[in-house]
């Protein structure tokens, strides 16, 4: 690769041996860069093809206007998050996080904070991503000599959740959080109990709900070959209260989102509800 153009010390436009232009991001990669010189590819953290599309132009403008120090710290916190969460940030998710941090710093300097009322839900629903966000905020505060507001715990958690789904958008993650919380409320009301949030079954249930909502959002209903009607009827009879709760959840999702749950989805939802409420149900019978 050879340099074509420097955007700032951490971002440059380069040309590979096949004639394709790339935007590359890496600490100090643009420092002292001269057109035509070879690029040290070991310095590259992120790269993406520089296509003259509207989306790419927007990304270029975002990168070019950003403080190199922000790019530097985002590279470090995303590396930490990738290791801890065992994920890989796409270029778009990376730049979206950098853009968010850029504005978060401006809001903090202006003593302006976004109001958010889902911090407790986010902490419960995405515990590992939340811990990664706390670590990221600690790094950002130390490196940039600033104190980000508490609301950033939620917003950065959302970005880390989005990074696990390349098509994820912040508004979709917020919507998913609210929807999961509503489903849990339906189940707790149906059984008139509080759920054990420290149990393995609770964690598994939240994971099931997350991927269930992602599938529904993408129009990908669950279908497993081999699950016949007799099995489904047996589950309905054996776990009657759990199935009734699943029906209430199904009604909620139909009214709120227009989703029609398949019999397979009802079966797995019933089993998860039974597992997460079974101990509690026994104590109240």
SS3 at position 7: strand
Do the Cβ atoms of 10 and 25 come closer than 8 Å?
Answer: yes
Do the Cβ atoms of 236 and 266 come closer than 8 Å?
Answer: no
83: left (phi > 0), else alpha (psi -120 to 50), else beta? alpha
> What's the CA gap between 213 and 178, in Å, rounded?
11
Q: Give the pLDDT score at 284.
A: 47
Q: Give the pLDDT score at 134.
A: 96
**In whole angstroms, how far apart are CA 37 and each of 2, 14, 15, 31, 204?**
5, 10, 10, 12, 52
Do the Cβ atoms of 51 and 91 come closer than 8 Å?
Answer: no
Of 1, 107, 87, the closest CA to residue 44 belongs to 1
In which residue ranges of the chain is pLDDT below 70? 51-61, 64, 112-119, 165-170, 220-227, 279-285
Using DSSP, how many helices (H) and how many strands (E) does the chain show?
A: 11, 4
Do the Cβ atoms of 11 and 21 come closer than 8 Å?
Answer: no
Q: How many residues comprise the chain? A: 285
pTM (2 d.p.): 0.67
Do the Cβ atoms of 91 and 71 come closer than 8 Å?
Answer: no
Do the Cβ atoms of 160 and 129 come closer than 8 Å?
Answer: yes
In 88-150, which ranges are continuous DSSP H helix? 91-109, 119-125, 127-144
Do the Cβ atoms of 157 and 133 come closer than 8 Å?
Answer: yes
Using a 10 angstrom Cβ sphere, with 0-12 exposed, 13-18 middle and 19 or more buried, the burial of residue 225 is: exposed
Q: Give the pLDDT score at 130.
A: 93
Do the Cβ atoms of 232 and 268 come closer than 8 Å?
Answer: no
Q: Give the pLDDT score at 170.
A: 65
Q: Give the pLDDT score at 139.
A: 95
Q: Give the pLDDT score at 282.
A: 47
């Amino acid at each position: 690769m050879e340099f074509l153009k420097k955007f700032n010390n951490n971002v440059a436009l380069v040309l590979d041996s096949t004639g394709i232009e790339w935007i590359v991001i890496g600490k100090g990669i643009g420092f002292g860069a001269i057109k035509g010189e070879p690029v040290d590819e070991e310095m590259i953290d992120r790269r993406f093809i520089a296509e003259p599309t509207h989306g790419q132009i927007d990304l270029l403008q975002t990168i070019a206007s950003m403080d190199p120090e922000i790019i530097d710290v985002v590279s470090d916190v995303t590396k930490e998050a990738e290791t801890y969460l065992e994920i890989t940030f796409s270029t778009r998710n990376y730049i979206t996080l950098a853009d968010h941090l850029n504005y978060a710093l401006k809001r903090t300097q202006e003593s302006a904070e976004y109001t958010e009322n889902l911090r407790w839900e986010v902490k419960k629903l995405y515990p590992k991503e939340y811990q990664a966000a706390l670590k990221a905020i600690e790094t950002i505060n130390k490196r940039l000599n600033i104190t980000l507001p508490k609301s950033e715990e939620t917003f950065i958690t959302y970005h880390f959740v989005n990074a696990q789904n390349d098509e994820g958008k912040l508004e979709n993650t917020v919507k998913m959080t609210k929807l999961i919380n509503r489903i849990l409320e339906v189940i707790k009301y149906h059984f008139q109990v509080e759920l054990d949030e420290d149990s393995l079954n609770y964690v598994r249930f939240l994971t099931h709900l997350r991927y269930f909502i992602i599938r529904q959002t993408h129009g990908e209903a669950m279908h497993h070959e081999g699950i016949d009607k007799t099995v489904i009827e047996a589950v309905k009879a054996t776990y009657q209260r759990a199935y009734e709760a699943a029906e209430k959840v199904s009604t909620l999702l139909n009214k709120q989102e227009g989703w029609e749950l398949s019999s397979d989805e009802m079966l797995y939802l019933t089993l998860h509800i039974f597992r997460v409420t079974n101990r509690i149900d026994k104590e109240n019978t």
